[in-house]
Amino acid sequence: MAGWRTQTPSPPPRFTPVSSLSTRAAPNVPIVPGPRSAYIWIWFAFDAFLALFPPVYWVAAQPKPKLLGFPCSIVYFGALSIFITASLLAAYWDDEKRGAFKVSVP
């Protein structure tokens, strides 16, 4: 009866980095003609400020005030999620308008 070593496969070959892969561009990666609109970057910065700056949430998290029957903090998170989603959609539409998703087929 053969030992356990004859039944196990050999280990995979070690990864060897190829320098030519890191220096040449892939043929089907699109080249974007220009930078993203400044309005989109400002919108992203405002998203980050509203989402990551705690005092804005603390002001909205007061226990007494309610909007449409919901606590202000819930309304804040709902409005913020819609605002961030809208910024991502605007960035996608801007990229699409600039031709960022067009791939040349050889």
- Give the model confidence (pLDDT) of 71-104 as tens digits: 877 888 888 999 999 999 999 998 888 887 777 7
Query: pTM value?
Result: 0.61
Q: 61 versus 7: which is more confidently predicted?
A: 61
Planar angle of CA 85, 86, 92, nearest 5 degrees: 90
Per-residue pLDDT of 8-38, as tens digits, reads: 666 666 665 555 445 555 566 556 667 788 8
Torsion of CA 21, 24, 30, 34, to 10 degrees: 130
Q: How confident is the model at residue 1 (pLDDT cuts 50, 70, 90)?
A: low
Per-residue pLDDT of 50-76, as tens digits, reads: 888 877 777 767 777 777 788 877 888
Name every residue whose Cβ is closer than 8 Å to that of residue 91 and which is 6 or more positions away in sequence: 36, 40, 43, 44
The distance from CA 39 to its chain's CA centroid, rounded to whole angstroms, is 18
Distance CA(35)–CA(95), nearest Å, equals 9
